[in-house]
Chains A and B, each alone.
Chain A
Amino acid sequence: MITFLFYLPFLLLFVVIGVYGERKISAFIQSRYGPMEVGPKGLLQTIADLLKMLQKENIVPGAADRFFFQTAPIIIFIAIFAGYAVLPLTLGVEGAGIRTGVFFLLAIVSLDVLGILMAGWSSNNKYSLFGAMRSMAQIISYEIPLGLSVLCVVMIAQSLDLQEITQQQGIFSKEKVWLFGLASLDIDVTEVGGFLSWNVFRSPFLWLVFIVFFISGLAESNRAPFDLPESESELVGGYHTEYSGFRWGIFMLGEYGMMLLVSFLAVILFFGGWNTPLPNIGQAKLAEWTSGPVWGAFWLVSKAMFFIFVQMWVRWTYPRLRVDQLMSVSWKYLTPAALVLVFICGIWRLLMV
């Protein structure tokens, strides 16, 4: 319940800051200034855009299926926000007590395809339908490497509960943490904590798994270089071509919500969740000084913000893929790589005990 009261306002605030951040980052990457007019350094630009958007008329095309057209954005947002239910926030504050945690998250988030299909089909517009079809093919294909990469972490952590996965990666771990997870090295780093007990250091192959996870995560949230469903040069706007005003805003909310969810999941699964990156070094108990409920939320959010930045950086650096390239990346490269990594992580887990 506490996580709900935190995540919902945080998501709304994040969208306002995220849109501004995205425009500034894209501008700096392209040697421009970005929004500068509204407020100091253009800080109020998103607020102004938001006000404009809310005043726009909600247009429903005459030949559209009215009920589907109006509920589709809501279904997309509900499906994505339901994924936040199982995210832990900090030490002692966990999400819904579902033992199948991360599995539930993957299942419920995949339902946003239904909303996208409803939006694309009910618009009665060929661009919208093409966008929805592309999006569906993309999301279903990339769910496989995403699921396999999550499976690697679950095998290392031996748990589906995100709070438990997080707890293992720091000084509050219930079991002993060996350096690089190798029990045969016999170097106990449970007391040291910090970044040495993160999953990517407990099992270094998770760095490769993380790359697979991150690419699939970008595709799942329909972000560039995987934004084919809404590629404006070919499909006008993809599945949200016909939407305007607040309903279009909910699509954007859904997209940023998915970005944030993927970043939180990456942090929790690979980079220690709410655990501090600073290790205890001798008398300088940095890990203990920077651990606690408030510090935990701070570390979780700031790590997630870093990955949001990386997502934006990737978006403005790489060109968009073609449709056939999109499919071959998923099926010919990511899925076999993820399968091999599942095998390697299974062996690594045997070395950890």
Chain B
Amino acid sequence: MMLIDIVFYTFFLLAALAAVGILITKNVIHAAFYLVVCLISLAGLYVLFDATYLAVVQLLVYAGGVIVLLAFGIMITNRSDGQLLSSSHLLLPGILAFGGVLVLFTIFTVKFSPGIPVNPDSDQVQQMGIVFMTDYLLAFELIAYLLLVVLVGASYLAKSSQS
């Protein structure tokens, strides 16, 4: 077994175990931090597949931004002992849903996998920049407008709460 396989299976197991941990833990804060472990492990998997840019975005946006806000929100509403979540575990529907998603995922990856190999030596950032400003310019601009609207909305909400 090569070193890269060991690294791959480590990240893979970490992501899977953390995802299971979110389901079975009874402490909200612990669930939030399991989610962090899961997302960081996914970033590690992206690195192994030569998608370094995607991995960094994963770290910056999900692990660094979204999760911190989530944990922040939970923390100021809870004490250290955490709050018990619902104690009834719907086991059977959970297993069915998981199995269903697994089957769908397998079908999609086998049938519709684009299978385009990534060139690891290519400058992904530059390529993405060129593609954004040519082929996907409309989508890029629309997302920019969406973010602008969100920013304006956020500042409006913050202002009206002061007065």
8 A Cβ contacts from B47-98 to A: 52-53, 56-57, 59-60, 63-65, 67-68, 71-72, 75-76, 79-81
- A-B pair number, CB within 8 angstroms: 71
Report chain A residues within 8 Å CB of B53: 100, 103
The distance in angstroms between the C-alpha atoms of A107 and B63, with both chains bound, is 9
The answer on a CB contact under 8 Å between A122 and B80 is: yes
The answer on a CB contact under 8 Å between B75 and A129 is: yes
Q: Is residue B125 contacting chain A, with contact meaning CB distance below 8 A? A: yes
Q: Is residue B36 contacting chain A, with contact meaning CB distance below 8 A? A: yes
The distance in angstroms between the C-alpha atoms of A145 and B79, with both chains bound, is 33
The answer on a CB contact under 8 Å between A99 and B65 is: no
**CB proximity of A215 to chain B, nearest CB, Å:** 21
The answer on a CB contact under 8 Å between B124 and A99 is: yes
The answer on a CB contact under 8 Å between A121 and B59 is: no
- Range of interface residues on B (Cβ < 8 Å): 20 to 34
Q: Is residue A294 contacting chain B, with contact meaning CB distance below 8 A? A: no
Q: Which of B64, B75, B80, B123 contacts A99 (CB 8 A)?
A: B123
Interface of A, helix, strand, loop or mixed by DSSP: helix
Report chain B residues within 8 Å CB of A100: 52-53, 56, 124-125
The answer on a CB contact under 8 Å between B52 and A111 is: no
**CB proximity of B49 to chain A, nearest CB, Å:** 14
Digitize A82-121: 1 where CB-to-B-CB distance is under 8 Å, 0 elsewhere. Answer: 0000000000000000111001101110110110011001
Q: Please, which residue of chain A has its CB at the minimum distance from the CB of B64?
A: A110
Q: Is residue A64 contacting chain B, with contact meaning CB distance below 8 A? A: yes
Q: Please, which residue of chain A has its CB at the minimum distance from the CB of B121?
A: A99
The answer on a CB contact under 8 Å between A104 and B52 is: yes
The answer on a CB contact under 8 Å between A124 and B79 is: yes
Q: Which of A64, A98, A114, A160 contacts B68 (CB 8 A)?
A: A114
**CB proximity of A28 to chain B, nearest CB, Å:** 39
Q: Is residue A65 contacting chain B, with contact meaning CB distance below 8 A? A: yes
Digitize A206-231: 1 where CB-to-B-CB distance is under 8 Å, 0 elsewhere. Answer: 00000000000000000000000000
The answer on a CB contact under 8 Å between B75 and A117 is: yes
Report chain A residues within 8 Å CB of B8: none
Report chain A residues within 8 Å CB of B76: 129, 133
Q: Which of B29, B56, B72 contacts A107 (CB 8 A)?
A: B56
The answer on a CB contact under 8 Å between A114 and B56 is: no
The distance in angstroms between the C-alpha atoms of A117 and B65, with both chains bound, is 13
The answer on a CB contact under 8 Å between A121 and B60 is: no
The answer on a CB contact under 8 Å between B59 and A117 is: no
The answer on a CB contact under 8 Å between B59 and A64 is: no
8 A Cβ contacts from A195-248 to B: none
The distance in angstroms between the C-alpha atoms of A136 and B71, with both chains bound, is 11
The distance in angstroms between the C-alpha atoms of A64 and B29, with both chains bound, is 13
Q: Please, which residue of chain B has its CB at the minimum distance from the CB of A116?
A: B68
Q: Is residue B12 contacting chain A, with contact meaning CB distance below 8 A? A: no
Task: Please indicate which of the listed interface residues A63, A111, A140 has the most CB atoms of chain B within 10 Å of its own CB.
Answer: A111
Q: Please, which residue of chain B has its CB at the minimum distance from the CB of A120?
A: B75
**CB proximity of A65 to chain B, nearest CB, Å:** 6
Q: Please, which residue of chain A has its CB at the minimum distance from the CB of B69?
A: A140
Q: Which of B56, B63, B72, B124 contacts A104 (CB 8 A)?
A: B56
List B residues at the A interface (Cβ < 8 Å).
29, 33, 36, 40, 52-53, 56-57, 59-60, 63-65, 67-68, 71-72, 75-76, 79-81, 123-125
What are 28 A-B interface contacts by the 8 Å CB criterion? A63-B80, A65-B29, A65-B80, A68-B29, A98-B52, A100-B53, A104-B52, A104-B56, A107-B60, A107-B64, A108-B59, A110-B64, A113-B64, A113-B68, A114-B36, A114-B63, A114-B68, A118-B33, A121-B71, A121-B75, A123-B80, A129-B75, A132-B75, A133-B72, A133-B76, A136-B68, A140-B65, A160-B125
> Which 6 A-B pairs rank lowest in CB-CB distance, beginning with the nearest?
A124-B80, A107-B60, A110-B64, A107-B59, A121-B75, A107-B56
List A residues at the B interface (Cβ < 8 Å).
63-65, 68, 98-100, 103-104, 106-108, 110-111, 113-114, 117-118, 121-124, 129, 132-133, 136, 140, 160
